[in-house]
Amino acid sequence: MAAEPQNFSNHPRMVPAFHGVLFTLIVVILGYAVTMFVKHPAFGTAVGVMLAVSLLLITWYARVFALTVQDRVIRLEERLRMAALLPPDLQRRIPDFSRGQLVALRFASDAELPALAKRVLDEKITDQKEIKKRITEWRADHLRA
């Protein structure tokens, strides 16, 4: 079964078990732990609050760390792709792209990349959503964290 073609409106990746279920469970656990601590302040209920906060932080940082590594790989991949696809005058400007610009441009097709990359630099477009909205031929990325 082929994946649905990506575009601006359907490209964000949501993992229901992670983004919905896990986060909801941790918030409920934290709420319960805080309620128990307020009703019965003691070392044991304080430990419950600390454990719930720890779970929340572990979940948050697991996501942040994965996205940071993913962005580093995207930066490398896009710089290599640009070195192969951009004309010489734009190749010299590859170091001028910010992380956010490179991350957004990864969705542009090979045919569309040179013109869009030039516009992004010349018009100093830094908003990722704005860059993605300007993409007309999407290059799907289904392997995101």
What was the pLDDT predicted at 19?
A: 83
- Backbone phi, psi, residue 69, to 5°: -65, -45
Give the H/E segment covering residue 29: helix 23-39
Average pLDDT rounded to a whole number, residues 78-86: 97
Which residues touch 45 (CB under 8 Å, ≥6 apart)? 33, 36, 37
* Nearest by Cα to 99 from 72, 63, 137: 72
- Tally the C-alpha atoms within 13 A of residue 88's C-alpha that lie toward its C-beta: 0
Structure tokens at 140: 């799907």
Task: Specify the residue for token string 């991949």.
Answer: 77
Confidence of residue 144 (pLDDT cuts 50, 70, 90): confident
Residue type for position 84: A
- 1 pLDDT more than 50: no
Average pLDDT rounded to a whole number, residues 64-82: 94
pTM of the model: 0.76
What was the pLDDT predicted at 5?
A: 78
- 123 pLDDT more than 70: yes
DSSP state, residue 92: T
